[in-house]
């Protein structure tokens, strides 16, 4: 009995740690997939890490309203937690494609109105989003 | 024809030079629509005006309008217009309202992105904002007392085709309008536009005068007659450079000096616009009324 309680407590603690700072209501859309040609696209600004500062400015202007200032999503908006590994494990090309095309069925608008390099700057900034040090992010 | 070429060529050169010399995110167009919709839940309030330099015998006017644009979904934007005009030595009047809806049928970005547009107008013939031009040129000589008595209830549809390519936006609108108040047949019009931001890389600083906050372009628009007489006869045609400045994260200032290309056009049309975007207006209102955010 006591072993079961300890196990349950560990599970609850682990789950709570995973969810800390994240939008627990975010549910990735499995149908929102970038085509192969887009997945493989490299970020032309990958070596220009200084450009992430511009990406942050663009993120705060265009994305923070739904994804929150630190990218962990807003429950009310059902927006993606951009710190999650399920997002961070995607290629630069995939993130670029998703920013460019949006997922209009789920409320994510297309940001193709931004110049191409600015969208790559956003990708660069997304890579700097990390969950708080004491949390263990999981999908 | 030579006059037309003489007007267009310098305007095109000027616009191209200013665009290449430097590239904002809000569309700088006044007349042409592109495929970018209002973000869902956001409300954009825009105050704009049209002023012209009159021909001899005509009076100077100032026609302001207010536009409330709401993003219903990521693919559906709805707008309400309230407009009026003031004519020098005549009167200041309310000229009516418009309700428009834009719907984007395709989910993803394509080389050419179509948008369907439907608008109901409840105006009178004194309307001067010239937000779109279709059919023959408007009557700008008769007094307001006469024009305001003439109703202009119209259903207007547009096919908007727009493309973003290499940081340029290219857009074309094809207009079909039917006035239910008068027997003018079905009227046609068009507008084309291209624009580009003056810089394509955002700086890290919060500067307001950085090139990335400016965009420039050009619009060409006019009427194409009606089913009673199709063509350019007695139609108004304009070529207009357009400029936009993102003055804060939520506000944009726009300016466009249009040049009339036909005798029925005003020699010069000046347009100014200021827009302010309120993100997630619904949750802000609910918060104001004491609800949870």
Tens digits of residue pLDDT in A87-105: 899 999 999 999 999 998 8
pLDDT band at A133 (very low <50, low <70, confident <90, very high): low
> How far is Cα A131 from Cα A96, in angstroms, rounded to an integer?
21
Give the model's pLDDT for residue A13.
Answer: 43
For residue B126, CA distances in Å to B3, B26, B189, B241, B293 come to 29, 30, 19, 26, 44
If one compares B275 and A49, the residue with the highest pLDDT of the two is B275
Q: Distance between terminal CA atoms of chain A? A: 30
In this complex, the residue of B200, B279, B283 whose CB is nearest that of residue A118 is B200
pLDDT digits (tens, 9 = 90+) for B194-241: 999 999 999 988 888 999 999 999 999 999 999 988 888 889 999 999
Cβ pair A107:B37 closer than 8 A: no
CB B100 within 8 A of CB B79: yes
Give the model's pLDDT for residue A15.
Answer: 43
User: Residue B286 above 70 pLDDT?
Assistant: yes
Least Cα distance to B218 among B247, B203, B238, B198 occurs for B238
> How far is Cα A38 from Cα A23, in angstroms, rounded to an integer?
27
Handedness of CA A40, A45, A50, A54 (dihedral sign): negative
> How far is Cα B166 from Cα B182, in angstroms, rounded to an integer?
45
Category of B130 on φ-ψ map: left (φ > 0), alpha (ψ -120 to 50) or beta: left
The pTM assigned to this predicted structure is: 0.83
Q: How many CB atoms lie within 10 A of CB A46?
A: 13
pLDDT digits (tens, 9 = 90+) for B5-44: 454 455 444 444 444 433 335 789 999 999 999 988 899 9
Shortest Cα distance, chain A CAs vs residue B181, angstroms: 38
CB A107 within 8 A of CB B40: yes
- Name the strand (E) or helix (H) holding B54: none
Please identify among residues 95-124 of chain A the ones whose CB lies closer than 8 Å to any CB of chain B. Answer: 100-105, 107-110, 112-118, 121
Most B-contacting residue of A65, A97, A118, A119 (CB-CB within 10 A), to test interface: A118
Give the model's pLDDT for residue B288.
Answer: 80
In this complex, the residue of B39, B73, B108 whose CB is nearest that of residue A101 is B108
Least Cα distance to B145 among B125, B171, B117 occurs for B125
Asked whether this complex has an ipTM greater than 0.85, the answer is no
User: Residue A19 above 50 pLDDT?
Assistant: no
User: Residue A18 above 60 pLDDT?
Assistant: no
> How far is Cα A76 from Cα A66, in angstroms, rounded to an integer?
9
As a whole-number percent, the residues of chain A with pLDDT over 90 amount to 41
Task: Write the burial class of residue B149 (CB in 10 Å: 0-12 exposed, 13-18 middle, 19+ buried).
Answer: exposed
Give the model's pLDDT for residue A136.
Answer: 47
Return the minimum-mean-pLDDT range out of B12-26, B46-60, B62-76, B139-153.
B12-26
């Amino acid at each position: 009995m006591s072993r079961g309680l300890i196990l349950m407590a560990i599970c609850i603690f682990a789950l709570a740690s995973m969810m800390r700072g994240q939008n627990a209501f975010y549910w990735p859309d499995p149908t929102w997939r970038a085509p192969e040609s887009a997945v493989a696209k490299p970020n032309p600004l990958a070596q220009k890490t200084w450009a992430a500062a511009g990406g942050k400015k663009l993120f705060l202007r265009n994305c923070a309203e739904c994804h929150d200032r630190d990218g962990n999503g807003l429950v009310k908006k059902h927006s993606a937690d951009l710190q999650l590994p399920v997002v961070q494990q995607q290629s630069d090309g995939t993130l670029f494609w998703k920013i460019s095309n949006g997922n209009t069925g789920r409320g994510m608008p297309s940001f193709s109105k931004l110049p191409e390099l600015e969208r790559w700057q956003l990708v660069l900034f997304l890579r700097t989003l990390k969950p708080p040090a004491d949390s263990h992010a999981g999908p | 024809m030579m006059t037309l070429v003489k007007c267009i060529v310098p305007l095109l050169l000027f616009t191209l030079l200013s665009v290449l010399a430097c590239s904002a995110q809000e569309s700088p167009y006044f007349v042409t629509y592109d495929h970018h919709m209002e973000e869902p839940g956001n409300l954009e309030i825009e105050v704009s005006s049209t002023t012209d330099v009159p021909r001899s015998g005509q009076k100077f006017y100032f026609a302001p309008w207010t536009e409330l644009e709401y993003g219903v979904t990521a693919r559906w934007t709805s707008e309400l217009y309230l407009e009026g005009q003031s004519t020098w030595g005549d009167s200041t009047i309310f000229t009516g309202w418009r309700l428009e809806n834009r719907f984007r049928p395709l989910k993803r970005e394509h080389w050419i992105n179509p948008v369907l547009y439907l608008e109901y107008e409840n105006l009178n013939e004194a309307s001067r904002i010239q937000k779109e031009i279709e059919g023959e040129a408007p009557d700008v000589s008769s007094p307001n007392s006469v024009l305001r008595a003439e109703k202009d209830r119209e259903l207007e549809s547009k096919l908007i085709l727009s493309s973003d390519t290499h940081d340029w936006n290219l857009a074309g609108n094809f207009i079909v309008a039917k006035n239910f108040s008068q027997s003018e047949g079905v009227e046609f019009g068009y507008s084309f536009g291209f624009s580009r931001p003056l810089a394509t890389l955002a700086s890290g600083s919060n500067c307001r005068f950085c090139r990335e906050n400016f965009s420039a372009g050009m619009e060409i628009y006019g009427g194409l007659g009606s089913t009673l007489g199709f063509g350019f006869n007695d139609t108004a045609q304009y070529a207009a450079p357009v400029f936009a400045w993102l003055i804060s994260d939520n506000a944009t200032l726009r300016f466009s000096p249009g040049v009339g290309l036909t005798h029925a056009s005003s020699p010069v049309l000046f347009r100014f616009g200021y827009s302010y975007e309120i993100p997630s207006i619904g949750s802000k209102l609910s918060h104001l009324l004491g609800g949870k955010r």
